């Protein structure tokens, strides 16, 4: 039985055991007891008269892990009797009681029920009425049983066997078998792991306005992007794509300075805005999210700063901020937090 217990625990070592780790328990039990003495351990003329009885007891234990625990208990083990004579005494009734200590090795059926094995010892006290004396003997103890859990309460059915529960000084040395039912209460246990509950996504509106220098994007009076211009647009495309936004809206606006005719500047601003859009699309930006418009010289940013400048070269330099392509993009960014 010991070999079976150890072998079963090793075989099921990776399973989820029914006994909960780091829990204690207390219980009560009652049942049937039986003593049996082989003839080689019985004095001549001594025989069993009544070898069945009732038992009851209390016990408690602690589960170190889900499959290993330690249990102790104390029980009244039954009232029995012999017939015959020994050492000048007419034999009769004797009763057994004692304390036990055992390791509990568990193997699960499922998450709440298990099969367990018990390996330990019994300190048995035998009071013989014929000799009016009590003897004490340590006996090896093994057992097998099952437990069924109902929340913090557990029912159990177990069979125990103890070898040579008396020392034989009264002419008999029986083995003891018990069959018990029990009810126990479990307490303690490790704190449950916190439950991670995802919160609903929090929406944040992202809005940005980027102004690109037309002279850095295009050649003089040109709407064709230069190599440096393509790199500038690519950096904006990357920023838009990396934000992983939802409901993206991108507005590309072309602007010129006030030098030249209104019609010419309007057409040039539209062409430049369209060139930036086409580069965005080439960089992987969804075309359905983009709109383009040219405003010519109608929306300067220099105000009256350059008024009064007569020198053309100086005026062109002063009006440089007006020559631009503005990229305005908005979108919704979702943040998922846990608690």
- The predicted-structure confidence for 233-276, as pLDDT tens digits, reads as follows 888 888 888 777 788 888 999 999 888 899 999 999 999 999 99
Question: pLDDT at position 129, please?
Answer: 94
Contact 171, 126 (CB under 8 A): no
Give the residue-averaged pLDDT of 282-309.
Answer: 90
In terms of phi and psi (left: phi > 0; alpha: psi -120 to 50; beta: otherwise), the region of 201 is: beta
Strands 89-90 and 52-63: unpaired
- The predicted-structure confidence for 169-211, as pLDDT tens digits, reads as follows 899 999 999 999 999 999 887 666 777 776 666 777 778 888 8
CA distance 62 to 53: 29
Closest by CA to 91, choosing from 50, 30, 56, is 50
End-to-end CA distance of the chain: 49
Question: pLDDT at position 202, please?
Answer: 74
CA distance 108 to 112: 8
- The predicted-structure confidence for 24-35, as pLDDT tens digits, reads as follows 999 999 999 999
- pLDDT surpassing 70 at residue 298: yes
Question: pLDDT at position 18, please?
Answer: 55
- pLDDT surpassing 50 at residue 5: no
Q: What is the mean pLDDT of the chain?
A: 87
Query: Which percentage of the chain shows pLDDT scores above 90?
Result: 52
- pLDDT surpassing 90 at residue 103: yes
pLDDT band, residue 337 (cuts 50/70/90): low
The dihedral over CA atoms of 294, 297, 303, 308, expressed in degrees to the nearest 10, equals 160
SS3 of residue 212 by DSSP = strand
CA distance 216 to 111: 70
């Amino acid at each position: 039985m010991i070999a079976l217990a150890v072998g079963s625990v090793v075989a099921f070592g990776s399973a989820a055991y029914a006994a909960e780790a780091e829990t204690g328990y207390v219980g009560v039990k009652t049942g049937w007891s039986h003593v049996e003495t082989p003839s080689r351990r019985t004095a001549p003329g001594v025989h069993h008269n009544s070898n069945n009885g009732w038992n009851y007891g209390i016990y408690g234990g602690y589960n170190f892990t889900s499959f290993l625990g330690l249990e102790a208990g104390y029980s009244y083990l039954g009232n029995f009797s012999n017939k015959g004579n020994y050492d000048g005494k007419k034999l009769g009734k004797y009763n057994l009681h004692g304390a036990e200590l055992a390791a509990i090795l568990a193997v699960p059926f499922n998450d709440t029920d298990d099969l367990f094995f018990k390996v330990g010892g019994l300190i048995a006290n035998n009071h013989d009425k014929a000799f009016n004396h009590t003897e004490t003997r340590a006996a090896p103890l093994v057992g097998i049983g099952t437990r069924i859990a109902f929340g913090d309460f557990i029912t159990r059915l177990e069979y125990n066997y103890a070898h040579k529960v008396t020392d034989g000084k009264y002419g008999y040395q029986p083995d003891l078998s018990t069959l018990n039912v029990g009810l126990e209460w479990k307490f303690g246990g490790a704190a449950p792991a916190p439950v991670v509950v995802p919160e609903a996504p929090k929406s944040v509106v992202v809005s940005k306005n980027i102004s690109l220098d037309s002279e850095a994007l295009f050649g003089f009076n040109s709407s064709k992007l230069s190599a440096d211009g393509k790199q500038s647009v690519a950096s904006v495309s990357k920023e838009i794509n990396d934000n992983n936004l939802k409901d993206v809206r991108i507005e590309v606006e072309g602007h010129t300075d006030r030098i030249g005719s209104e019609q010419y500047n309007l057409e040039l601003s539209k062409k430049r805005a369209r060139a930036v859009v086409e580069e965005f699309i080439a960089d992987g930006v969804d075309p359905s999210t983009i709109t383009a418009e040219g405003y010519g010289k109608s929306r300067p940013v220099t105000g009256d700063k350059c008024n009064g400048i007569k020198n053309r070269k100086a005026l062109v330099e002063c009006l440089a901020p007006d020559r631009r392509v503005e990229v305005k993009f908005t979108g919704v960014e979702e943040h998922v937090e846990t608690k």
